């Protein structure tokens, strides 16, 4: 039995190495199966948070490699069901990345899923995503609009945090280009 576990761990290591190959060459950082968003540099997070064509590729590539669906370059050739699965996971990861950026800027106190490794978020997406998405990021008491946030109901708090994203993207451009 231990041999089967060893083979599975070896398979995972190969998938992770393949999944992060473009990340390592582009971002000049180390990534592994235990990497959480808090482990990634602010410059890299700023790049990924922008969600433009080039930025999107790196998340598509990671998702597709870990799922063994090819490279991010092959996204347009995926069958519709797999393409939608990649997009769903991409949007989930993009939220997580943006929440991590907000946390680093001191806008959020915490956010659901912040301690989950990136690889686990992808490989366990169907289990983790519904649980994580059912919770709302906590605005930092230091945020200038904290009292307004505190007075809101749960539904409005989620909307409030999402409305911070355009300002976040503007703020993060400075880190992306540094």
Question: Tens of pLDDT along 23-35?
Answer: 999 999 999 999 9
Per the structure, the complete domain to which residue 42 belongs is given by 2-176
Residue 169: other Cβ atoms inside 10 A:
16
How many angstroms from the chain centroid is the CA of residue 97? 4
φ and ψ of 109, to 5 deg: -75, -45
141 vs 34: CA distance, rounded Å: 30
pTM over 0.75: yes
Per residue of the chain (178 residues), give pLDDT as tens.
Answer: 455 557 778 888 889 999 999 999 999 999 999 999 999 999 999 999 998 877 899 999 999 999 999 999 999 999 999 999 999 999 999 999 999 999 999 999 999 999 999 999 999 999 999 999 999 999 999 999 999 999 999 889 999 999 999 999 999 888 766 5
Residues 58-91 as b or e (16 or more Cβ within 10 Å = b): bbbbbbbbbbebeebeebeebeeeeeebbeebbe
Distance of CA 173 to the CA centre of its chain: 18
Domain count, the chain: 1
Contact (Cβ atoms closer than 8 angstroms) between residue 154 and residue 136: yes
Please give the Cα distance from 121 to 118 (Å, whole number).
5
Per-residue pLDDT reduced to its tens digit, 85-122: 999 999 999 999 999 999 999 999 999 999 999 999 99
Structure tokens at 124: 């366990």
Q: How far is CA 134 from CA 88, 137, 151, in A?
A: 15, 10, 20
Beta bridge partners of 138: 110
| N residues, the chain | 178
């Amino acid at each position: 039995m231990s041999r089967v576990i060893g083979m599975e761990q070896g398979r995972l290591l190969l998938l992770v190495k393949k999944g992060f190959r473009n990340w390592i060459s582009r971002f000049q950082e180390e990534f592994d199966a235990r990497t959480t968003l808090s482990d990634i540099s602010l410059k890299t997070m700023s790049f990924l948070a922008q969600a433009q064509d080039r930025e999107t590729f790196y998340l598509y590539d990671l998702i597709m490699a870990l799922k063994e669906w090819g490279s991010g370059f092959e996204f347009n050739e995926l069958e519709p069901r797999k393409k939608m699965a990649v997009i769903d996971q991409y949007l989930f990861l993009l939220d997580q990345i943006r929440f991590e950026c907000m946390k680093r800027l001191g806008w959020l106190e915490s956010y659901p899923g912040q301690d989950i490794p990136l690889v686990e978020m992808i490989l366990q997406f169907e289990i983790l995503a519904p649980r994580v998405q059912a919770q709302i990021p906590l605005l930092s008491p230091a945020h200038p609009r904290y009292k307004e946030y505190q007075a809101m109901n749960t539904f409005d708090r989620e909307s409030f945090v999402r409305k911070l994203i355009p300002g976040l993207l503007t703020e993060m451009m400075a880190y992306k280009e540094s």
